[in-house]
């Protein structure tokens, strides 16, 4: 059943499946979602901020601080990146985070441990 579901999703979305192994002693991990250029870096795309934004900067700095702490403690960190195929629009949003562009990359200078 799971295999069929994965196959259905792969037909609709670009999907890269990986195995994640968590240490037995810990069930704590950090999940980072969309801390990418296309949403957080000034002028980096259609959905990126047009000018510096204190809330976004604070969110990036706090996310980087937590990611560093988790990595130092050897706890799992997972980052989700928004990536779209150029020929599959995501209405009502304008084209953004197209595969192979810098928009889909983590914000630079903050997540070198990942």
Look up the CATH number of the domain holding residue 75: 3.40.50.850
At 22-74, the pLDDT tens digits run 666 656 889 999 999 999 999 999 999 999 999 999 999 999 999 999 989 88
**The total number of structural domains that make up the chain:** 1
pLDDT at 16 over 80: no
- 63 by Cβ neighbours in 10 Å (0-12 / 13-18 / 19+) ranks as buried
- pTM score: 0.71
- Is 8 within the bounds of a domain? no
CA distance 86 to 70: 34
- Asked whether residue 82 is assigned to any structural domain, the reply reads yes
Range of the domain at 97: 20-104
In a domain, 64, yes or no: yes
């Amino acid at each position: 059943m799971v295999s069929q579901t994965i196959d259905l999703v792969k037909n609709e979305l670009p999907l890269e499946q990986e195995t994640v192994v968590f240490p037995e002693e810990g069930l704590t991990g950090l999940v980072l979602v969309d801390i990418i250029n296309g949403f957080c870096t000034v002028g980096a795309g259609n959905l990126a901020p047009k000018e510096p934004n204190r809330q976004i900067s604070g969110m990036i700095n706090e996310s980087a601080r937590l990611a560093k702490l988790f990595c130092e403690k050897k706890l799992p960190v997972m980052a989700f990146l928004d990536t779209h195929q150029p020929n599959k629009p995501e209405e009502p949003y304008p084209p953004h985070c197209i595969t192979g562009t810098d928009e889909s990359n983590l914000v630079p200078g903050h997540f070198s441990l990942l």
